[in-house]
Structure formats: structure tokens, C-alpha cells
A and B are shown apart, each in its own frame.
Chain A
């Protein structure tokens, strides 16, 4: 059997591209956009998100046969919230500057539809290792979308890449100016919209 057709691999690769949670399923954009002004915050946010989705899927899948049906959602929320708090505490202890910039958006991972969506739709009915991989895949898909938006916004908005000036000074002397608009909220919506367009056209051609 080819690697690309195992269930294991498909579980991981599906959410990365063909079924990306942000750009195809339109989930979890809430927290996604506000942190995309810089690549650094986007990357950290992506990693935090991946950790939370992966481990909440794993834990819930492990206890999926024991959770009483009637308190399922609240139990899931508690596990997710615990993981989010741990992530937040960790960031505040070791990456203070970034956690200051992310402010409330780490906390908002709790209500991010991707996390609850994956635990509900996948972890509850699949074994732990698949659930974990599914979590990582979805987290990575989310991060990929985030990083792409952040890359565009940081490059066009402040001429930087990971906080380093990469546009040569000659551009500026020749009259080029940073696009301040890219740093404002509306630009994120428009970039996502265009990304969706690009990807949908692409994915459609793939399947044909």
C-alpha cells in the first residue's frame, strides 16, 4: 500500500490542504486574523493552537468510552480550557513578549470552532493515535493559513520578515512606501478571501 493512501497519512494531510479548516471549512477564523500582523505572533499562535487541538483530541479520544453522553460538551470544554490555560501560563513564563502581544487571543482558542469541532466530529469516534494525528493535521492546516496571511501582511505592511527588514533601502529611496493598510483589520479579511478563491480553484482542478 502506498504511504499516501493509508488512513494515517490521509488523516494528517486532508486538513492541511484539501480540507483546510480555515480556508475551506471556514472555521476558526475568529482568533486567526488579529494575530497575523507579524509572522512571529502568527507562528506562536499556530503552535499553541496545534498543541491544544492535538492534545485535547488525544485526551478525549482516550476517555471517549467513559464520558457520559449528557455532559459530553462541558467535559470537552473543561479539557480544552485546561490545556489552553496551561499553554497561556507557559507562554507567559517563557515567552513574555509574545504573550503580551497575543493578549487575549490565546484564551480565545477555547472558543475556536476547530478545537471543539475536531473533538466532537473526530476524537469521539476514533482511536487515540488517529485522533492525535488529526489534531496535529488540523492545527498545522490552521497554522499554514495563519502564516501565509501573516507573511503577506508583514511583508507588504512593514517590509519585514520575522521582524527583520528585508526590503532593501533602495526601494524606499525610489519612492516605495509600506502599505499601512496591510496592518489594519480589513486587509486580513480581504487576503483570506483571495486565498480562498485561489485554493478553491486549485483544489477543484486537482480532483478533476
Chain B
């Protein structure tokens, strides 16, 4: 029978799920479940110094704007010109495994040098390879910007206007906080209120994001406000702050905004943010159907235990995994995701599940959802990335599945 854990007057009669999970599981599962949180201190430190560097160079350039290609260039010049380290076709495989075997510090250095050789950066195939190996922290912002490009053709002039309007709105709000507001303004204010509420609730364990001296928190708020002005029909949706924060941590404010607007516009994110339910349903079914084909054991296990895709996929998509996976892994996933857009999103979702498929099939509903909400932290993320890579999903295949799921829903067929 049930024997509740007695933990003082407050806890009387309440049994903690995590205690049960950890106490009652066999060794490997226990280890994985117990290992679900925490930032990697070393990684956090390197990210912090990167952010500091970014801010410093932004300050010296005056207007808070950095040209990402200049950054790359500057970094290129700092590194030694070591063409010998470039991946040559013949020995590419061998060199990749050599790089993967290195420790993090050495690896970052070698990878930086590899990014700096033109032949690697300009061949899309090599770029891909490098992205899968993990972009070094110092280059990440620039590489991400390049991967996303500028599909909306956003220029700095527009950004300047948006930034000014955000500042203006703030001032107006302060001035007539009790006065009447027109409909337009009040709609923006609703977005502003939510943004103000959510910015402090974004990556709360990442202290330096919220520290005053780096102004990242203000930048994050400003980015989201700018976006709500830029795309009033999308506005602000919860989940955006995590994605915007990832960009803010790696880029100057203008590049971060450009990256954010691009990713929302070019992927399924937009449908999720505006809650276009008919489409959201299609994407849930697409995921299910891919899961069934790729990892049938888990698919049937989830089905049997009522672990429905909307219990994790909505969260995964709307934050692009950043609320679920440890930060270091999130960055690795984004290296790939930003190259591939929607294909990347679905592929990563499957890869993450595939990587711990054996664990899932031994877990009940609670445990599955626990792992799907808080992905375990691994010392070596290469294996997770390898799982993502092992999922074969092409643009064409995704398109086929999407159109099949769309027509199934139209015909009123049951969800897979």
C-alpha cells in the first residue's frame, strides 16, 4: 500500500513523483532521469564571455550594430591560417572522427580554424559537416546569421524606425499610464505587458542573461516589442522569448532581430504562434506519422500510454527545443536546425526521441512526459547529434507527409 514520505508538516501525505522515479528505477533509467537538469558551468562560462565580447565590440562600433560578416572576418584574422586543417574530400571522414575525439578546448580551436578556411565555408556540403560537428561558441552568432540569411530583406533603416517606436511607446506609456488609450495602442500594450511578464521568466537559470551590466534582458524585451510592431498580426506569443533570447545571447541586437523574424517567417513557427489550429493539428499528425515510421516501438508505447504529441511537440516547436534540452545541446541542435528549417525541426524531434528510445519503452506516462519536458544532459552531445543525423528526412519526404496529413484531416480520417 501507499506509504507517503513524511517530510515535515507541509509535505504530509504527499508523495513526490521524482523520488518515486529515482528510487524505484533500475540503474540506467534512474541515472538518466536524475540527470535531467542543470546547465553545464563550463559552457555557460564560455557563452558569457562570448556575450561580453559581443557587447564590447558593439560598443566600440557605436550604433549597437555589428556586421556579422565583419565579425567572422575579424575572427578569421585572429586565427592562424591553417589550411592544412581543412577537410579534404579524401580524408574528410577520418578527420571528422579525429575532431570528434578531441577534448572541447582543442576541438573548438580546430573547428574555428576549419571555419576560417574559405573552401570549407563556401561549400555548402562542408558547411553542413561543420555544423553537425558543432559551431564553436565564438563563431556561432555569425554562422547562425549566415545560415538563416535575410529572406525578409530587412534593412537597418527599418530596424532603426522600429527601435525608435519601441522607445517612444515606452515613454508614452510612462506619461499617460492612467490616460485613455486608443485601440491600436492598447493592443500593443497587451503584447508589451506579456513581454514584460515573460522576459524575466525566460531561461531563469541563466543568470548572466538577467544581470544588469550586459543589458541582455532589455535587448530581449526590445527585440520582442519590435517584432510585435513589425508583425502586429502575429504579435507576441509565449515561447518567443526563449528563441529571441537564444539569438540575443549570440548576436548583436540587429542581427538577433533579423534572425528571429527570419526563423518565424520561414518555418512552421508562425502557424504555431498565431495558433492556426488546423495547421497545428496537421503538424502533430506529421510528427506522429514520422515517429511511427522511424521509431515504431516508441510510437506504439506512446500511443498505449497516451503520450500524445501535443503534450511535448507544441512546447518543442514553440521554443525550438530550447525550453527542453540543456543549453549546450540546444545550441548544437540549432547549428543544424537553422540550416534546415522545418525539416530540421521534425528531424531533431525524432532524433531526440530516438536517442533515448530504449528508455522510453520502459517508462510509464509520467516518466515519458518528464523526459520529454526535461531532456537529460549528456557529457557528450555528439551521440545525440548522431541520432538526429541517423533520421532520414528530406524536404521532399516532409512535403509528402504534410500533404498526406492535410488531406487525411480534410477527409476526416482519424489521427494516426
* A complexed with B: no
List chain A positions with a Cβ less than 8 A from chain B.
Answer: none
List chain B positions with a Cβ less than 8 A from chain A.
Answer: none
